[in-house]
A and B are shown apart, each in its own frame.
Chain A
């Protein structure tokens, strides 16, 4: 299957600093990437949808000035947690879909996940 690479897999940072997480689709072009946050023993919470060449679409309750998303190319999206605080500590996962816009309704589309980034803010 397709490969999505997320980096770093874990990071520890001091409160007040910013952290950038990268998500790359290695063998396909991803016009859309999704960023999720996951707390222990909970499901994935969609934070934002990242569209190549345009602004990200944030879910309700997610601060766009705090979680900056950039989708500069068809293979790279970045999430920057600005002025991180301990409550931002979480597991962040990106996902990319490979979708053929010319395909008929009912044809297959699959979402591929990065390995996730464990962020700890101290």
Chain B
């Protein structure tokens, strides 16, 4: 069974702190790993990682994938209250058909 596990499930920090969110996976036919941010409605895309060891960066957010150890991390530096959200990790599998499987999500709360 394909599995995507995120940790921690919940995290509360103060504004300005740096956080690291984890995503590990056990799947067959891995193609890509994606990170999303969900606030009120549908998730919004953050990163897609396909190759190991290449950091993707967008402002204060960055992410990297380790295909040998089967995990990814999402870093947020100098956190702001607007970063409060659920962060979702998903793995795209392809073998003939496609399948996009999500982890449980990490609920991040940034306190002022």
CB atoms of A99 and B42 under 8 A apart: no
Majority-rule SS of A interface residues: strand
Of A13-21, A73-81, A82-90, A110-118, the one contacting chain B is: A110-118
Q: Are A112 and B45 in contact (CB under 8 A)?
A: yes
Q: A51-B97, A108-B32 are in contact. Are A36 and B48 (CB under 8 A)?
A: no
Do most interface residues of chain B lie in helix, strand or loop, or is the interface mixed?
A: strand
Contact B98 A114 (CB under 8 A): no
A111:B51 contact, CB within 8 angstroms: no
Q: Is A49 an interface residue (CB 8 A)?
A: yes
Mark A92-122 against chain B: 1 for CB-CB distance below 8 A, else 0.
0101010100000111111111111000000
- Contact of B100 with A111 in the complex, beta carbons under 8 Å: yes
Number of interface residues of A (CB under 8 A): 30
Closest chain A residue, CB of each to CB of B36: A113
Q: Which residue of chain B is the closest to A57 with respect to CB atoms?
A: B97
Interchain CB contact under 8 A, B104 and A97: no
Convert B73-112 into 0s and 1s, putting 1 for each residue whose CB lies closer than 8 angstroms to a CB of A: 0000000000000101010101001111111110100000
Given contacts A36-B102, A42-B105, A109-B31, contact A49 B97 (CB under 8 A): yes
Residue contact A49 to B98, C-beta cutoff 8 Å: yes
